Structure 1
Amino acid sequence: MGRIRYVGPGNRFQRRNEISSDEGLFVWFSSNILILRTMKKIHMKQYIRTLMLAVALAPVFSSCDYLDKEPDDMLTLDAVFDNADYTKQWLAGVYNLVPDPLWEYMTYEGYGYYMMSDETQMASSLSQFGWSNLMNVQKGSWTPTTIVPGKNLWLETYRKVRAGLIFMENVKEIPNQRQTAELVERYKNEVRFLMAYYYSRMLEVYGPFPLVTSLVDVTESGDVLQKARTPYDEIVDYLDNEFMELSKVLPSSYDDVNVGRPTSGACLALRARMLMFAASPLFNGNEDFRDVVNKDGTPLFSQSKDNSKWERAAKAAKLVIDMPEYDLYKEYLDDGSIDALMSCINLFLTTPTNNKEIILAYPGKTNGLYEYHLLPRGSGWAGCISATQNVVDAFFMKNGLSIDAPGSGYVESGYSGADTYYDTKYLYGSSEKKAGLVTTAGTYNMYVNREPRFYANIRFHGEYCSFDDTKRTHNFLNEGKDGKPSHDSPIAGYQINKALNPSTRHGVAYPYKPGIIVRLAEMYLSYAEALNEYDPGNADIEKYMKLIRERAGLPALQSGLSQDAMRDAIHHERRVEFAFEGGMRYMDIRRWKEAEKVFETPISGMNTDGKTNTEYFKRTEIQKRVFLKKMYLWPIYQNYLDNNEKLVQNKYW
């Protein structure tokens, strides 16, 4: 049986067990398994194009009935688009590169963004289970001949874009199957959105790439098939136009059954995110990239800093902010004041139709491996992914000050002498479920009087464990119920709490949680950041920073900060607000060109080898990370360079 693999734009189709041009390909598909069979008298062009069934017909919407149907016959490309159900399945296949922002951005099997930042750490013993590739990245051991992380974003993007382009060319009205012209137009707009979204993700990590916007006839010569990288600003302008056009024709909202389908707000929010990258130091006049050119001498990056890009980004974020469909998620106390802790917890547990902050969410059920790797071993899970001391230290005190600020009240020794209550309906501070109890007497002082987002995001040794019925506390001591010597323990002594329902039980279906891809708070902080760069002193900077901090239960910043001080404050606020969320930290420290400085500070935690509290509560270095200048952009896989003479590698690789 002949097999063909498409490896990217300009790369040749590589044949194994050569198939003659008068043979064709039919594809039988069942769920994610595909069997390729050849038959006579079909032109090679039809053969190649029919191949795309292999990348387009993969179920993604587990909640959609039509994806549960399996065709029982072999199909040609024409047969697919003559059938409304098969057309939907092709569309679903284009959707299936939309990432689960919780698990896929954490795991070695996905993209590993969490592990590439300073927020999370795994034990070195987990290398036996596949985590070694991300561990190598943490050590700086990354080359163009190794694909890291597990999902090959370059290859998968082009596969889905090609599947999308085939869809655009072939989808048609089928009146007798209720596939109307209006529905066809909606499908096409969804596919355009997906292709733009996938390209924008690729742009974040690779920088410029060969922009393909139409089908390539694979019978053309290699010189025609090969394509050079498109300059960064040209790609940004193209995607900007796509997102803007689509925002005018896509609906403003959907019901929960259609979570994940693109809306006008999703278009504008992803556009704003992309323009923030374009305005930031990594891509806006970065001197390191000035000599990066195609082989014909075309510069791939802007040659000078353009401050108007910040204005463009600010206006893009404000377009989303001004949409009536969105608002910050808040829960309230009986007196009408904001319940900050419950707001910060349930923001990540509430369905999009009841959560106006969500602009775009994952179109399916999020992966239960998220719970499995984050919840404690003593309650039945693995609990092997650890939050770091680095991120623990970033959270503010209840009074809104950093832990190292004068007057913060932070104490890093001893234990609290009394229970601590906040104004909240939170019930999980102890087994008695006392409303408002946040920490109990005897809690290590490092964790007392911290801001509500700290408790919504971090679980620590000695904190009440709500994930089983034994009325116990988390025990991360060596030989403790949740600690070492097992590798199923948090190496730094902390576990992630974000997007985890406190009533979750092992062996029972996990409670619903939305996989939030983009939310309104990002637009608030991006707007403030962009304004501060081109119009420092604008009153909206303090306004939108205040709104974010108010929801978190914190006072407003001191008024009248300098541009530099406000920049630091915005960066700090983003770190806390978006902790453990969609790889935001990894993206931010790269676009700010701060990653090298960030990783000068080793990853640290508590002494998880300690068998007593006295031994345990000591700051301990876990790992010295290596972030080299070349790692701001990912390398293009060497095989792709070998197959496309027009491609040039990213600098320093």
Structure 2
Amino acid sequence: MKKIFNRILAAGLLSIGAMGMVTSCDYLDQKPENLKTSDMIWETRTDAEAYLYNIYGYIWLSTDDPVVFGFADESSCVFSNTNVRKMVEGNWGPSNTLGDNKWNAAYRGIQKALIFEENIDRVPEGVLSTDLKIQYKAESRFLRGWFYWNILRLYGPFVIFDKPVEQDEDFNKYVRRPFEECVEYVCELMESTLGELPEVWTSTAYLGRPTKGAALAVISQVRLLAASELWNGNPRLKDFKNKDGELLAPQTKDNEKWRIAAEAAEDVIDLGIYHLYRNTESGDRTFDPYLSFRDLFMSGNHAEVIFATHKSGDWQWGYDKRCNPKNGGYSMQNATQNIVDAFLTRDGLDINDDENYTEAGFAKEDDPAEYGKVRNEINRGYRKGESNMYANREPRFYASVHYNGRPALSAITVDDRNYFSSDKNKDGFGRAEYYYSGSSGAGTQMTDFTGYNIAKKVSTSSSIRNDQAVYRPFIHIRYAEILLNYMEAMNEYNPEDSKIISYFNEIRDRAGIPKIMATYPQDLGDKDKMREWILRERQIELAFEGDRFWTLARRLLYEKEENRKIYRMNVLADDQGQGFAFEGFYERKILQTRYWDNKMYLYPIYQTEIDRGRGLVQNPGW
């Protein structure tokens, strides 16, 4: 055992120090006051708990991760020298994963969790109760399952470790296990926690720790992946095998997996403890779909959140900085025209199906549906003078996308907002000048700008001008995603199931748009049509949350040119001083047609990992 600890200590992986109990917002930030030997760690409750808290630190956040931001068709990174731009151009591989070795990071978390589970009972009973030891081991097993789940969806089959790896271990004996065995292993880990994790933590001090619902939600995610085309009898993976010939991918399609996935989602729903957040829960008297959708990301202490990381640090500041316009922000993580066009109109229709939708000209008045609210909430709805392309769109659009002429998001005072404006436009609103000559326009330095930034999850209470960002959690799984999981899976198994429409309407009701039965009644029960609508709803509801990357992969949709051809506004056209009135800006232009090779459905294992364990096989095509 000491050899294990010495190896981790030498690698600088053991972040344990003498510290007291910490709050939910701080426990992931623990730093060692000094590194301790293995025997010392298990002498005190403080050190043992600090060891567990640091395992949580291996949960990666996707706010700036190239795997999810700038790879799928919803977003683009403006800077050409970034890792994600190299990835979408095909310039990466096993020997050049661009410093992104999630395989290794996940296994480091797994190793620490195994060490914790093997040693926590050494803490004296009078120092740490048996009940807490049981709870902590359940948390650790959940974390192991979480790390394995992230390996599974990114790399596919993994190596299973049930005990800590010794320093002198023969790594050549470890091989990847078949996909279906990996699926069952993750589900079994999560199931093993169900009797030991609570449904709800009774104190906010425990925010960020897993619950019974979180474990069931991970099972739902795993089952949905297993049912989808990537791993459900995918003929491209028929020759994916270990060196001894053991097949690693399922060879035949099994439609029953969709039923199993739907039931896994329903297990979460049937707990009866989650619901879609509405602004009335925060004290507002009347329901407001815009505020309901915008503000659900500002707090993790409500019943839509199933699992979230409550961690103070740089991600909130960095995210707000990357998504806000220049003159304070970086204008770096752009929304694309693809996702703008995906959002529905206020009547719940595709823009091509709504006879009232037009892209010609500009709005002649402030949003009548939001009149009276605009003065206090300048970012809600649309305003007079903005392009009709953005008029009368659904509330989720305004909570998700920042477009030309829209007031600055992270600007609190009038002076803060004017900071984003050219002198001629300093009117107290800080309207984003995304046209060519504007203060946040492409100019000569941002030629790959799309003409949009991301608004979702950006805090309107932050002050980018002053480099001040407010705290909010990072939500990994929320209830809306579970409803979508059920809808998607059950539609493939039994499109006549009434709950598909019920859950669809539940999401649309919170979004403030008409029910699906009112907008497209002819498509109800049609598996192919409903698949399109469910995936569309998933694209909209979960935009910029990382899901689009995974959904396009598991459903084998990246290869479709429509998902690789990225559109933007005509940001390079000279507006000749017309500014916001320049209609030429609102022409669609192709930004890029992203490179694609079907091997990219699975991430390559870093070559050093293959070299370290000769039993490992690389993913197909790499």
| Shared fold, TM over 0.5 | yes
- Matching residue within 377, 383, 386 for 2:331: 383
- Tell me how far apart the structure 2 counterparts of residues 268 and 283 of structure 1 sit (CA, whole Å): 21
1:636 paired to 2:586: no
> What are structure 2's unaligned runs of at least 5 residues?
419-427, 576-581
In structure 2, which of residues 179, 194, 205 is the aligned counterpart of residue 257 of structure 1? 205
Task: Give the aligned CA root-mean-square deviation in angstroms.
Answer: 2.7
- Please say which of residues 607-616 and 194-203 is displaced more in the overlay: 607-616
What is the CA distance between 1:561 and its match in structure 2?
3.9
d(CA) in 1 for partners of 2:56, 2:368: 45
Which shows bigger deviation, 469-478 or 456-465?
A: 469-478
What SS does structure 2 have at the residue aligned with 1:352?
coil
Per the alignment, residue 557 of structure 2 pairs with: 594
3-state SS, counterpart of residue 76 of structure 2 = strand
The answer (yes or no) to whether the contact 2:2–2:38 under 8 Å persists in 1 is no
Residue in 1 that maps onto 2:579: none
Closer, same or farther: CA 352–640 of 1 in aligned 2, 3 Å: closer
Distance in 2 between the 1:604 and 1:144 partners? 30
Deviation at 1:487, TM superposition (A): 4.5
> 3-state SS of the aligned residue for 1:323?
coil
Is 1:237 aligned to 2:184, yes or no?
yes
* Deviations, residues 454-480 of structure 1 (Å, cap 9, x unaligned): 000011111223522431311112231
Q: In the alignment, is residue 63 of structure 1 matched against residue 25 of structure 2?
A: yes
Retained in 2: the 8 A contact 1:421–1:436? no
Match of 2:261 in 1: 313
Partner SS, residue 603 of structure 1: strand
Structure 2 counterparts to residues 364-379 of structure 1, below 5 A: 364-365=311-312, 366-378=315-327
Q: Which has the higher contact order (CA 8 A, sep 6+)?
A: 2
Q: Whole-Å Cα distance in 1 between the matches of residues 6 and 52 of structure 2?
A: 20
Q: Residues of 1 paired with 2:159 and 2:265: CA distance? A: 27
Residue 439 (structure 2) pairs with residue 478 (structure 1)? no
Contact 2:308 2:476 in 1 (8 A): yes
SS at match of 1:417: coil
Work out whether residues 327 and 357 of structure 1, in 8 Å CA contact, stay in contact via their aligned partners in 2: yes
Between the two proteins, the alignment pairs up a number of residues equal to: 588
Q: CA deviation at 1:384?
A: 2.1
> How far 1:328 sits from its partner (Å)?
0.7
Report if aligned partners of 1:209, 1:230 keep a CA contact under 8 Å in 2. yes
- Please show how residues 575-594 of structure 1 align to structure 2 within 5 Å: 575-581=539-545, 583-594=546-557
CA drift at 1:83: 2.5
Select 2:484's aligned residue among 509, 514, 525: 525
CA distances 1:535-568 after superposition (whole Å, capped 9, x unpaired): 1111111111111111111111133341110111
AA aligned opposite 2:571? T
Change (3 A) 1:331 1:63: closer
Question: What does 1:360-509 align with in structure 2 at a 5 Å threshold?
Answer: 360-365=307-312, 366-378=315-327, 380-405=328-353, 407-422=354-369, 427=373, 429=374, 432-433=375-376, 438-466=381-409, 467=411, 468-470=416-418, 471=428, 472-485=430-443, 487=445, 491-506=449-464, 507=466, 509=468
Once the two structures are TM-superposed, the CA of residue 608 in structure 1 deviates from its matched residue by: 1.6
Q: Secondary structure at the match of 2:449?
A: coil
Which range moved further: 307-316 or 46-55? 46-55
Please tell me whether the aligned partners of residues 61 and 67 of structure 1 are also in contact (alpha carbons under 8 angstroms). Answer: no
With over 3 angstroms needed to count, the CA separation of the structure-2 counterparts of 1:417 and 1:308, relative to structure 1, is same
C-alpha separation in 1, matches of 2:3 and 2:408: 61
AA partner of residue 347 (structure 1): L
Q: How does 1:42-61 map to 2 (within 5 A)?
A: 47-48=6-7, 51=10, 54-57=13-16
Amino acid at match of 1:537: E
Structure 1's 479 and 85: CA in aligned 2 closer, same or farther, altered over 3 A? same
Secondary structure of 1:595's counterpart equals coil
1:90 equivalent in structure 2: 51
2: CA distance, partners of 1:618 / 1:514: 37
Alpha-carbon displacement from aligned partner over 1:471-499 (angstroms, at most 9, x marks no partner): 13111122312223374798000111111
**Separation in structure 1 between the aligned mates of residue 170 and residue 290 of structure 2, nearest angstrom:** 61
Alpha carbons of structure 1 residues 262 and 160: separation in structure 2 relative to 1, 3 Å: same
1:20 alignment partner in structure 2: none
- Please give the secondary structure, in 2, of the residue aligned with 1:115: coil
Residues 477, 483 of structure 1: 8 Å contact kept: yes
Note the 1:239-318 alignment, pairs <5 A. Answer: 239-254=186-201, 255-318=203-266
Supply the AA of the counterpart residue of 1:585.
Answer: R
Residue 63 (structure 1) shift: 3.2
Give the match's secondary structure for 1:367: helix
2:474 aligns with 515
1:518 partner SS: strand
In structure 2, what is the equivalent of residue 160 of structure 1? 109
Q: CA separation of 1:503/1:552 partners in 2, compared to 1, >3 Å: closer, same or farther?
A: same
1:114 is aligned to 2:73: no
- Structure 1 residue 194, shift from structure 2 partner: 0.3
SS of the aligned residue for 2:121 comes to coil
CA distance in 2: counterparts of 1:65 and 1:587, whole angstroms = 29
Gaps (5+ residues) in structure 1? 1-41
Distance 1:304 1:321, change over 3 A: same
What amino acid is the match of 1:140? G
Q: Match of 1:361, SS?
A: strand
Distance 1:587 1:120 in 2: 14
Contact map agreement 1:265 1:359 (CA 8 A) in 2: yes
**Amino acid corresponding to residue 593 of structure 1 in structure 2:** L
How far did residue 600 of structure 1 move? 5.6
Q: What is the aligned-residue identity percentage? A: 32
SS at match of 1:438: coil
One-letter identity of the residue aligned with 1:282: L
Q: 1:416 to 1:94 in 2, by over 3 A?
A: same
Say which SS state the counterpart of residue 158 (structure 2) adopts: coil
Give, in whole Å, the separation in 1 of the partners of 2:332 and 2:189. 41
- Identify if the C-alpha distance between structure 1 residues 230 and 635 changes in structure 2 by more than 3 Å, giving closer, same or farther: same
Q: In structure 2, what is the equivalent of residue 568 of structure 1?
A: 532
Measure, in 2, the Cα distance between the counterparts of 1:335 and 1:66.
32
Distance 1:69 1:385, change over 3 A: closer
1:488-546 CA deviation, whole Å, 9 max, x = no partner?
Answer: 79800011111122232132642332211000001111101111111111111111111
Between the aligned partners of 2:554 and 2:285, the Cα distance in structure 1 is 39
Q: Which amino acid in structure 2 is aligned with residue 234 of structure 1?
A: E
User: What is the CA–CA distance in structure 1 between the aligned matches of 2:31 and 2:5, rounded to whole Å?
Assistant: 26
Q: Which amino acid aligns with 1:584?
A: D
> Could you say what secondary structure the match of 1:377 adopts?
coil
Q: In the alignment, is residue 356 of structure 1 matched against residue 303 of structure 2? A: yes
1:539 to 471, 474, 498: 498
Return the alpha-carbon distance in structure 2 between the equivalents of residues 533 and 93 of structure 1: 40
- 1:71 shift after superposition: 3.1
Worse-superposed segment, 509-518 or 434-443 = 434-443
The one of 32, 39, 60 aligned to 1:78: 39
Q: Per the alignment, do residues 112 and 487 of structure 1 end up closer, same or farther by CA in structure 2, a change over 3 Å counting?
A: farther
- Secondary structure of 1:313 counterpart: helix
Opposite residue 278 of structure 2, the aligned amino acid is: K
1:473 aligned partner, one-letter code? R
Q: Partner residue of 1:99?
A: 60
Return the alpha-carbon distance in structure 1 between the equivalents of residues 543 and 239 of structure 2: 35
Residues 605 and 622 of structure 1 are in contact (CA less than 8 Å); yes or no, is this contact kept in structure 2? yes
Give me the whole-angstrom Cα distance separating, in 2, the residues matched to 1:323 and 1:120.
Answer: 34
| Counterpart residue number, 1:143 | 93
Task: Give the direction of change, closer, same or farther, for the CA distance of 1:55–1:206 in structure 2 (3 Å limit).
Answer: farther
Q: In structure 2, do the counterparts of structure 1 residues 525 and 170 end up closer, same or farther at CA, with 3 Å as the change threshold?
A: same
Q: Is the 8 A contact 2:320 2:458 kept in 1?
A: yes
1:651 aligns to what?
A: 620
Q: Check conservation: 1:531, 1:541, Cα contact below 8 A.
A: yes
Deviates more, 1:604-613 or 1:327-336: 327-336
1:436–1:367 Cα change, 3 Å = closer
- 1:64 shift after superposition: 3.6
Q: Which amino acid aligns with 1:79?
A: M
Q: Say if 1:286 and 1:304, in contact at 8 Å, map to a contact too.
A: yes
1:56–1:94 Cα contact (<8 Å) kept: no
In the alignment, the residues of structure 2 paired with residue 178 and residue 299 of structure 1 have an alpha-carbon distance, to the nearest angstrom, of 48
- Note if 1:550 corresponds to 2:509: yes
Using the TM superposition, give the Cα deviation of residue 288 of structure 1 relative to its aligned residue in structure 2, in angstroms. Answer: 0.7
